[in-house]
Chains A and B, each alone.
Chain A
């Protein structure tokens, strides 16, 4: 009852209220309330996520599974960040409340949390993202082969976009006058044309398909036909 029926009822009610509130102005307030509940749940999910992270990493460390050292680093980083953020270490009193040493923001400039963000989190995430360029270059050399017609089309489009999105494209085809009837052949115009015509058309078709799929899935969930979100045993 508590594990099955109540979650099903909550889901069905929330789903129906959100649909009705979109079409019936009088019910708009109900929809807002459901969204606020969702926002509160999303905030609570952070606590749940933190707990789950600790549980998984502790298990990994206690079992001495391969890579358990990384688990230890994750746990230490998580706990230290949580500690300095919650206790507002290094935070100065705010202007409106000068007598309260904790009144400043947890992430204000100069605080320890800010220091972690500025000198650890920021460079690490930026580095991870920047490394993509190296792996993409390596993959381009090894895997991007003109094996068949589809691959040749893909390869040709990639060339046009790669060059057309930089000044290289302008420079290579600047001999074609901008005001001539052949100006579409300038690389920068070709890449725009591909983007506006083929990319947009393809994306639109995918979006319509996905939306229809989402509608069907949502209805199945709201009506209780699809119960996979309750866990594997409920499918």
Chain B
């Protein structure tokens, strides 16, 4: 047994991981979530929105991290629309607009058919320049955005008429997977104009530690990784009773795979160390 484990082909580990992530997904295992403080704060921040308030969504991620971030994008968009807010979508990542479109198709069109493009929501599209885009639009949208994503003049869009800059927003939500993203929004927009708008962020697991120092001063709420998305879904479902809709339990469903995968990782580390200590006692060097 020891020899088998010492020389274990890594393809066995790959197979175990495949089973660990596939079985809970296929079987639809779901587990209860305990809501963390940061997610609760993010939820409360959006609950403060009043009908007609302006919310800027920055979709700063790509399909690689969509598995982790799309569920929270769905929930946040639903929540803001449910509060009656006007939604402004943009992206600092080149493929962000496609993800905006997917979210609009998944949330706005089926759940809020009364929402009209240009009056209740608008897609401003992608602009190159990373944090320099934030630096410009935080004082003047029109220096960069002359049209929306579809090419319509910005001044022909009714909901853009009274919007001069990001400072006219009530809430900024950055859903980000790295650079440029939530950190840059905090540094170049929220920190520079702390009292003009509020900010909430959603991020991948690896991006959470660099954002934690900004909580709660610059970032009142932070939704971290798929667990944060599952916690948010719990709050959203408790308040608005959406359990029958699969789009709003995506994060919870994915937490099933995460649980089994994490337990497998712990077991692998334990077994790996047992093999290591037995080998050390026997004088095996590798």
Within 8 A of B (CB), among A200-216: 200, 203-204, 207
CA distance A190 to B34 in the complex (A): 13
Whether the Cβ atoms of B127 and A39 lie closer than 8 Å is yes
Q: Chain B residues near A138 (CB, 8 Å)?
A: 10, 13-14
Contact B227–A140 (Cβ < 8 Å): no
Nearest chain B CB to A2's CB is how many angstroms away?
A: 25
Does A133 lie within 8 Å of B17, measured CB to CB?
yes
Is the pair B259, A117 in contact by a Cβ cutoff of 8 Å? no
Smallest CB-CB separation from A151: which chain B residue? B273
**Does B144 sit at the interface, judged by CB under 8 A?**
yes
CA distance A222 to B132 in the complex (A): 18
Which of B34, B128, B264 contacts A39, CB < 8 Å? B128
Encoded as 1 (CB less than 8 Å from any A CB) or 0, chain B from 125 to 146 comes to: 0011110110110011001100
Query: Does A74 sit within 8 A of B, measured CB to CB?
Result: no
- Given contacts A125-B63, A141-B269, A141-B271, A200 and B213 within 8 Å (CB-CB): yes
A117 engages B95 (CB within 8 Å): yes
Q: A158 with B31: in contact, given A126-B64, A166-B227 (CB under 8 Å)?
A: no
Residues of A within 8 A of B34 (CB): 170, 188
Residues on A with C-beta less than 8 A from B62 are 125
Per-residue contact bits, chain B 247-286, to A (CB 8 Å; 1 contact, 0 not)? 0000000010011011111101101110010000000000
Inter-subunit contact A162/B136 (CB<8 Å): no
Q: What's the Cα separation between A109 and B150 when bound, in Å?
A: 13
A56 on interface, CB distance cutoff 8 Å: no
A191 to B144, CA, bound (A): 43
**Given A125-B62, A126-B66, A199-B212: A137 in contact with B266 (beta carbons within 8 A):** no
Q: Which residues of B have CB within 8 Å of A60?
A: none
Q: Is A220 an interface residue when CB atoms closer than 8 A count as contact? A: no
Tell me, yes or no, whether A122 is within 8 Å of chain B by CB.
Answer: yes
Q: Is the CB of B129 within 8 A of A167?
A: no
Rounded to whole angstroms, the CA-CA distance of A43 and B64 in the bound complex is 23
Binary flags per residue of A64-94, CB closer than 8 Å to B gives 1, else 0? 0000000000000000000000000000001
The verdict on A130 contacting chain B, using a C-beta distance below 8 Å, is yes
Supposing A105-B150, A137-B268, A141-B271 touch, asked if A166 and B128 sit within 8 A by C-beta, the answer is: no
Known: A32-B135, A107-B97, A199-B209. A167 touches B33 (CB 8 A): yes
Chain A interface residue count, CB cutoff 8 Å, equals: 56
Check if B266 sits within 8 Å of A163, measured CB to CB: yes
Minimal beta-carbon separation of A192 from chain B (angstroms): 6
Interface residues of A in 1-48 (CB under 8 A from B): 22, 28, 31-32, 35-36, 38-39, 42-43, 45-46
Supposing A32-B140, A107-B98, A196-B212 touch, asked if A137 and B264 sit within 8 A by C-beta, the answer is: yes
Known: A43-B129, A140-B272. Is A168-B259 also a contact (CB below 8 A)?
yes
Is B210 on the interface with A (CB-CB < 8 A)?
A: yes
In the complex, how many angstroms separate the beta carbon of A143 from the nearest chain B beta carbon?
A: 8
A122 to chain B: which residues have CB within 8 Å?
Answer: 63, 66
A229 interface contact, C-beta 8 A: no
How far is the CB of A148 from the nearest CB of chain B, in Å?
Answer: 13
A200 — nearest CB in chain B belongs to which residue? B212
B196 at the binding interface (Cβ < 8 Å) = no
B residues in contact with A35, CB < 8 Å: 129, 132, 135-136
Contact of B50 with A by CB under 8 A: no
User: When the two chains form the complex, which single residue of A38, A136, A166, A195 contacts B31, counting CB atoms closer than 8 Å?
Assistant: A166
> Which chain A residue shows the least CB distance to B32?
A167
A227: interface (CB < 8 Å): no
- Give the chain A neighbours of B63 by CB distance below 8 A: 121-122, 125-126
Residues of chain B within 8 A of A128, CB atoms compared: 64
Residues of A within 8 A of B129 (CB): 35, 38-39, 42-43
A225 touches B (CB below 8 Å): no
In the assembled complex, 24 residue pairs joining A and B whose CB atoms fall closer than 8 Å, in A order, are: A28-B139, A43-B129, A94-B150, A117-B98, A122-B66, A125-B64, A126-B66, A134-B14, A136-B265, A137-B14, A137-B261, A140-B268, A142-B272, A145-B272, A145-B276, A146-B273, A162-B266, A165-B227, A165-B262, A166-B255, A166-B259, A192-B37, A207-B210, A207-B213
- Which 10 residue pairs across A and B have the least CB separation, nearest first? A39-B129, A167-B31, A166-B259, A125-B64, A129-B64, A38-B132, A122-B63, A42-B128, A141-B268, A141-B272
